[in-house]
Chains A and B, each alone.
Chain A
């Protein structure tokens, strides 16, 4: 972490030559502290995941794993026999995070693909097509951002139940599949700022809107579409409330819900800490990988969500 200090451009060259500026040093110290608070807990997850449960109490503040073992990983992925699991402080109940991992991937991928694509279509209609009531409809769409998710969650649950889709992947993805108000807003904004010249030239050549959308608009908007997909995917990955309501059974249960269930199985008085931290790590890992790969995109997108 301290290596970051060397990498940052000093604010002004004049300041760099100064041997020691207590104010700058103090600012750096605080910043390093904030970074430590943000990042160190993740190392603590890893350290605990590689520890033996029974040794955690005796070595509660050692930085290294307490009696290194892969046992917790075996347990979390259902590869340990119940007897072994109980011996190592697990609950012995069947737990299979491969399954939850798979469900999370399916749930997040489908909802992201659907929401981003359909929102892009709608955004095109709002940004490029002329039709009566366009602005009114757009305002209505935006207005849905004001409705708190809990408020629609209860009736949506009843709808999914009436459709007999509880504990199915279809029931879980439906409410997110068609659009998110933010995605429409975000993409419309981008389309409006995009140059129309190519599109108008194509239009003069007799190209239809469908072709323009697929062959000109979508490719030109690849970058914002990717950012949006990334943010949507992470948001869906982290979703907890709706999957908890609708997908409580094993074959559709996602990681976040699985984590909650795993935590509530306190086997021998205290939770299976190393198992729980392993499961937490497994749930965090895909997002961590995405962040390592596309961090810059994500960080730069925050400027957009603020005010210009």
Chain B
């Protein structure tokens, strides 16, 4: 997830190596470059390129691990189009993504503003970053315990407040919001720090001018902070969306897709089809669809939101 964040940043223009000796050596450093790049190239080819091609190929086959993949054309895709479980997984994941966007971005933006206003200490930033350092599995189990229906501390507080206990993981209407809350807990501080870093980059004189012009704090926020933060916000949004679409770990260790189908998210459904039911072709086909969805998200970001351009320049 973090790695994706970096991609949205445009690569700097290639500074050509200053080369007083360039004209003489047409081949450049090709030989030595091959040596330096060889290990990474092995990883790139065998664990990125070949599997990508193989994944697309498998999606057109029927393959249950034993025997050989058998070409079936578009069969998997037509089956998926009629598969209620697939559409359910898409809807459930969409709900999860939506909740994450709203909760995470809103909370992180608020938190970043607070940090920007009153506290810039590393200690506070560190404390807020702590959940992000934890694995999804740890975050999931921690909240699985704290949100337990019977003896979880959160339900204890809810009862003290005079409200009925909530089956956070056990009820169909709460299961996905609960997963989204866990993810929000884990990423809130991290996202806030990204936005905070963006705020730090806005030059102080912009605010001074606004102040001289008599802008209220709210006006300053709406007319200056938000527009200048756009590249950061777009990046945060894209990272949140792309990361949320691939939710798996927290679901896998807590609800396992249930209750009924309430948390059978796309990646969990792929996992079940491929590994539980040994249907690799079908699983791969859903993975291709997920891939296309994510590519579309990245495309929309670049094309319409112009996340890679700053208004500051």
Binding site for B on A (CB under 8 A): 1, 4, 7-9, 11, 24, 27-28, 30-31, 34-35, 37-39, 41-42, 44-45, 48, 56-57, 60-61, 118-119, 121-122, 124-126, 128-132, 134-135, 137-138, 140-142, 144-152, 154-156, 158-159, 161, 174-175, 177-182, 184-186, 189, 192, 196, 209-210, 213, 231, 234-235, 237-241, 244-245, 256, 259-260, 263, 270, 273, 276-277, 280, 283-284, 287-288, 291, 295-296, 298-300, 302-303, 305-308
Contact A306 B118 (CB under 8 A): no
Contact pick for A37, options B151, B185, B290, CB 8 Å? B185
Closest 3 CB pairs of A and B: A178-B43, A238-B135, A155-B51
Using an 8 Å CB-CB cutoff, how does the interface string of B49-87 with A read, 1 for contact, 0 for none? 111101100100000010000000000000000000000
Of B129, B270, B283, the contact of A298 (CB 8 Å cutoff)? B129
Question: What's the least CB distance linking B58 to chain A, in Å?
Answer: 7
Question: Which residues of A sit under 8 angstroms from B52, Cβ to Cβ?
Answer: 147, 151-152, 155
Using Cβ atoms and an 8 Å threshold, which residues of chain A touch B17? 128-130
Residues of A within 8 A of B36 (CB): 121-122, 124-125, 129, 209, 213
A27 in contact with B42 given A130-B17, A240-B137, A260-B253 (CB within 8 Å): no
Residues of B close to A34: CB separation below 8 A: 111, 114, 128, 188-189
Does the CB pair B55–A152 fall under 8 Å? Answer: yes
B55 touches A154 (CB 8 A): yes
A-B contacts, 17 listed (Cβ < 8 Å): A8-B118, A8-B121, A34-B189, A38-B127, A38-B189, A60-B151, A61-B157, A129-B28, A142-B11, A147-B48, A159-B51, A179-B44, A209-B32, A263-B253, A277-B141, A302-B194, A306-B195
Q: Are B275 and A182 in contact (CB under 8 A)?
A: no
Cα–Cα, bound, A130→B21 (Å)? 11
Determine, out of B89-97, B142-150, B205-213, the stretch whose residues face the partner at the interface: B142-150
Contact A154 B135, CB 8 Å, known A141-B44, A179-B44, A276-B145: no
The answer on a CB contact under 8 Å between B32 and A129 is yes
Partner of A31, one of B3, B42, B65, B115: B115
Partner of B129, one of A158, A241, A288, A302: A302
Once the chains bind, are B142 and A295 in contact (CB under 8 Å)?
no
A128 to B37, CA, bound (A): 12
Residues on A with beta carbons closer than 8 Å to the beta carbon of B242 = 148
Instruction: Find out whether the CB atom of B124 lies under 8 angstroms from the CB atom of A31.
Output: yes
**Residues of chain B within 8 A of A154, CB atoms compared:** 51, 55, 58, 270, 274, 280, 283-284, 287
User: A259 and B137: CB pair below 8 A?
Assistant: yes
A284 and B124 in contact, given A28-B118, A48-B145 (Cβ under 8 angstroms): no
Residues on B facing A (Cβ under 8 Å): 2-9, 11-12, 14-15, 17-19, 22, 27-30, 32-33, 36-37, 39-44, 46-52, 54-55, 58, 65, 110-111, 114-115, 117-131, 133-138, 141-146, 148, 150-153, 156-157, 160, 185, 188-190, 193-195, 197-198, 200-201, 231-232, 235, 242, 245-246, 248-249, 252-253, 267, 270, 274-275, 280, 283-284, 287-288, 290-291, 294-295, 298, 310
Chain A residues, Cβ within 8 Å of B152:
60
In the complex, the answer to whether A307 meets B201 with C-beta atoms within 8 Å is yes
Which chain A residue has the least Cβ–Cβ distance from B157?
Answer: A61
A residues less than 8 Å from B150 (CB atoms): 57, 270
- Contacting residues, chain B, for A296 (C-beta < 8 A): 122, 126
